[in-house]
Amino acid sequence: MSNAVRIHHFAKSGHAHRALVFAKLAGIAHDAVPVDLAAGAHKSPEFLAMNPNGQVPVLEDGEVVVSDSNAILFYLARTYAPDWMPTDPVGEANVQRWLTLAAGEIAFGTCAARLITVFGAPLDPEFAAATAEKAMQKLEHGLTGSDWLVGARPTIADVASYSYTAHAPEGNVSLEPYPNIRAWLARFEALPGFEPMPATAVGLVAE
Ligand SMILES: N[C@@H](CCC(=O)N[C@@H](CS)C(=O)NCC(=O)O)C(=O)O
């Protein structure tokens, strides 16, 4: 039997990409299990038994089941990749600050803007654009004078913030005004093991 963790994902989900790209960057053996969102597979009884919220990503590690992308990053780092998560209280608190941004302004701004343009989601485009701009400004400021969001090496703070920020232009959120973010994205993409989320403009089609 395989010792690999299983990551249930959808190829065009930035939340799922967070979990997958982390497994790749950290060299964690994993099987990527596609979930056909277009067919409603994420609302099946089997899937809801793993995640009652009916959302990807979900991680299975033997008997352990973890849903929510940031929770998955935390679990994987603590279990298999300790270098990616500081253990001192200040470092850990700083990582948490960025996970909050990823679950806040990035999700409701940068991600939402892309949900509107790519998937036709019935969300408020003005709110999404304004919230995305707040996310961008916080990242740009946080990367002033430093290569990574927390400390001198990449952590799960960078992983959680990467996917939707890299794909912000798909939601008509320009990266042009943010040189620190653009340099950080390039640095992240140069890490060994990095694999991108597929670029998309065609909607909710499983790959
Ligand atoms: N807070 C969750 C959000 C996950 C999420 O929004 N997943 C989306 C794909 S990006 C999804 O599964 N949407 C289907 C649905 O909500 O019905 C996380 O971080 O994992």
| pLDDT tens, position by position, 105-123 | 999 999 999 999 999 999 9
Same-domain pairing of 140 and 154: yes
Q: Report the pLDDT value the prediction gives residue 1, as an integer from 0 to 100.
A: 55
Q: Report the pLDDT value the prediction gives residue 207, as an integer from 0 to 100.
A: 40
Same-domain pairing of 91 and 163: yes
Same-domain pairing of 44 and 64: yes
Q: Report the pLDDT value the prediction gives residue 85, as an integer from 0 to 100.
A: 98
Q: Report the pLDDT value the prediction gives residue 65, as an integer from 0 to 100.
A: 98
CA distances for 12 relative to 93, 118, 145, angstroms: 30, 10, 32
Same-domain pairing of 91 and 20: no
Owner of token pair 């912000």: 168
50, part of any domain: yes
User: Distance between CA 45 and CA 50 in Å, rounded?
Assistant: 9
Q: Taking the complete model, does pTM exceed 0.75, yes or no?
A: yes
CATH code of the domain covering residue 41:
3.40.30.10
CA distances for 194 relative to 20, 57, 159, 204, angstroms: 10, 18, 11, 24
- Which residue range forms the structural domain that includes residue 144? 86-189
Q: Report the pLDDT value the prediction gives residue 198, as an integer from 0 to 100.
A: 86
- Domain boundary (55, 83, 111) is at 83
Question: Under a CB-based contact definition with an 8 Å cutoff, are residues 98 and 154 in contact?
Answer: no
Same-domain pairing of 53 and 123: no
Same-domain pairing of 98 and 77: no
Q: Select from 33, 55, 170, 204 the residue to mutate for testing ligand 1; criterion: most ligand atoms less than 8 Å from CB.
A: 55
Say if ligand 1 is within 6 A of residue 59 CB: no
Tens digit of each residue's pLDDT (9 = 90 or more) over 70-84 = 999 999 999 999 999
Closest Cα to atom 20, ligand 1: which residue? Answer: 68
Same-domain pairing of 184 and 100: yes
Of ligand 1's listed atoms, the one at least distance from the Cα of 43 is: 17
Same-domain pairing of 154 and 125: yes
The reply to whether omega before 57 is within 30° of 0 (cis) is: yes
**How far apart are the CA of 56 and the centre of ligand 1, in A?**
5
* Strand ordering across the sheet containing 64-67: 30-34, 5-9, 58-61, 64-67
Same-domain pairing of 61 and 105: no
Ranges under pLDDT 70 in the chain: 1, 201-207
Same-domain pairing of 138 and 52: no
User: Distance between CA 101 and CA 157 in Å, rounded?
Assistant: 9
Q: Report the pLDDT value the prediction gives residue 2, as an integer from 0 to 100.
A: 74
Query: How many domains does the chain fold into?
Result: 2
Enter the tokens of residue 51.
């995640």
Tell me the average pLDDT of the chain: 95
DSSP output for 98-117 = HHHHHHTHIIIIIIHHHHHH
**How far apart are the CA of 66 and the centre of ligand 1, in A?**
13
**How far apart are the CA of 114 and the centre of ligand 1, in A?**
13
Enter the tokens of residue 60.
């299975």
CA distances for 158 relative to 50, 75, 85, 165, 184, angstroms: 27, 16, 11, 10, 9
C-beta atoms surrounding 8 within 10 Å: 24
